[in-house]
Amino acid sequence: MPLETYVARVLAGEAARESPPAALEALAIAVRTYALANRTRHRADGFDLCDQTHCQVVRASTAVSERAAQATAGQALLFDGAPASIYYSASCGGRTERPSAVWPGAADPTYLPSQHDEACEGQPEWEAELRAADLQRALTASGFRGTLRGVRVAARNESGRVARLVVDGMTPTDVSAQDLRMAVARIPGVPQVRSATFELRLAGDVYRFTGHGNGHGVGLCVIGSVRLAAGGASAVAILERYFPGTTVSGGGARLTAVPAVRPAPPSADVAARAALPPPTPAKPEITAWLPSADDRERDALIGLASSARDELAAALGVAAPSRLTIRVHPTAGDYERATARSWFTSGALATGEIHLVPLGTLRDRGMLERTVRRQVAQAMTAPALDGRPLWVREGAALYYGDGGAGAPGGRIDARGPCPADAELAQPVSAGALAEAWARARACFARQIAAGRHWREVR
Residues that bind Zn ion (CB under 5 A): 50, 54-55, 92, 117, 120, 221, 224
| Contact indicator for 199, 4 with CB cutoff of 8 Å | no
Cis amide bond preceding 124, omega within 30: yes
User: What kind and span of H or E run contains 211?
Assistant: strand 206-212
CB of 92 to Zn ion, least distance (A): 3
What's the min distance (Å) between Cβ of 157 and Zn ion? 16
How far apart CA 319 and CA 322 sit, in angstroms, is: 8
Least distance between Zn ion and beta carbon 263 (Å): 12
How far is Cα 244 from Cα 437, in angstroms, rounded to an integer? 43
By beta-carbon proximity to Zn ion, the closer residue of 92 and 185 is 92
**Which lies closer to Zn ion via its Cβ, residue 220 or residue 362?**
220
Burial 305-320 (b: 16+ CB within 10 A, else e): bbebbebbeeebeeeb
Are 331 and 398 in contact by the 8 Å Cβ rule? The answer is no
**Closest CB 225 distance from Zn ion, rounded Å:** 8
Q: Which residue, 61 or 114, is less far from Zn ion as judged by CB?
A: 114
Provide the minimum distance between the beta carbon of 186 and Zn ion in the complex, in angstroms, as a whole number: 18
Smallest gap from residue 227 Cβ to Zn ion (A): 9
Nearest-approach distance from CB 51 to Zn ion, in angstroms: 8
CB of 55 or CB of 196, closer to Zn ion = 55
* Residue number, 92 or 425, with CB nearest to Zn ion: 92
Closest to Zn ion by CB, 242 vs 335, is: 242
CB of 363 to Zn ion, least distance (A): 17
The nearest distance, CB 178 to Zn ion, in angstroms, is 18
Pairing of strands 220-221, 206-212: unpaired
Ramachandran angles phi, psi of 369, nearest 5°: -65, -45
Distance from C-alpha of 124 to C-alpha of 54, rounded to nearest angstrom = 23
In terms of CB distance, is 92 or 165 closer to Zn ion? 92
Distances 252 to 9, 35, 378 between C-alpha atoms, Å: 18, 13, 47
In sequence order, the β-bridge partners of residue 350 are 353
Looking at the Cβ atoms of 6 and 344, the one nearer to Zn ion is 6
Closer residue to Zn ion, CB minimum distance, 47 or 144 = 47
SS3 (DSSP) at 76: strand
Q: Are the beta carbons of 12 and 56 closer than 8 angstroms?
A: no
Nearer to Zn ion, 230 or 384 (CB): 230
Q: Among candidates 198, 201, 115, 112, which has minimal Cα distance to 156?
A: 198
Q: Are strands 220-221 and 88-89 parallel, antiparallel or unpaired?
A: parallel
Cβ distance 223 to 204 under 8 Å? no
User: CB of 27 within 8 A of CB of 233?
Assistant: no
Among residues 274, 283, 292, the alpha carbon closest in space to that of 351 is found at 274
Q: Give min distance, CB of 71 to Zn ion, in A.
A: 24
User: How near is the Cβ of 119 to Zn ion at its closest, in Å?
Assistant: 6
Q: Each residue of 130-152: b (16+ CB within 10 Å) or e?
A: bebebbbbbbbeeebeeebeebe
Choose between 52 and 325: whose C-beta lies nearer to Zn ion: 52
